[in-house]
Amino acid sequence: MKDLADLSRPGSGPIGLSRNLPFPGVSGRYLSRTLAELSGAPELSAFLDHQSEKGLVHHLHGGCDWLARTGVKADPDEIVITCGAQHGTLVTLMAVAAPRA
């Protein structure tokens, strides 16, 4: 097992985006509760099937509804579903930043 000290966060300096670490503190408790809820969900097996790269239609519409509550009008084809915040940050940076030559 890897030494847990390798996963420590520096107290100052640049923010490291190379590791996908949970928020310190209560994350374990929330993860335990969420996994317990998911384990009893009858529709859980649907997520084991192949998913479209565009995402599930009801997730796309959910994204539109969420944005509408903030005053942003969007169509489902303008929504990008990501696998969490780190993936979302990567996708956003790749969309707006040009690679170095």
d(CA 79, CA 21): 25
pLDDT at 97 over 70: yes
The Cα 99–Cα 58 span in angstroms is: 33
Is pLDDT at 15 greater than 90 in this prediction? no
Residue 78 structure tokens? 């303008």
pLDDT tens by residue, 66-93: 999 999 999 999 999 888 888 898 889 8
Nearest in space to 85 (alpha carbons), one of 29, 32, 22, 27 = 22
Q: Report the pLDDT value the prediction gives residue 4, as an integer from 0 to 100.
A: 57
* pLDDT of res. 77: 94
pLDDT digit string, tens, across residues 28-49: 888 899 999 988 888 888 777 7
Task: Give mean pLDDT, residues 35-64.
Answer: 85
For the chain, give every domain's residue range.
52-101
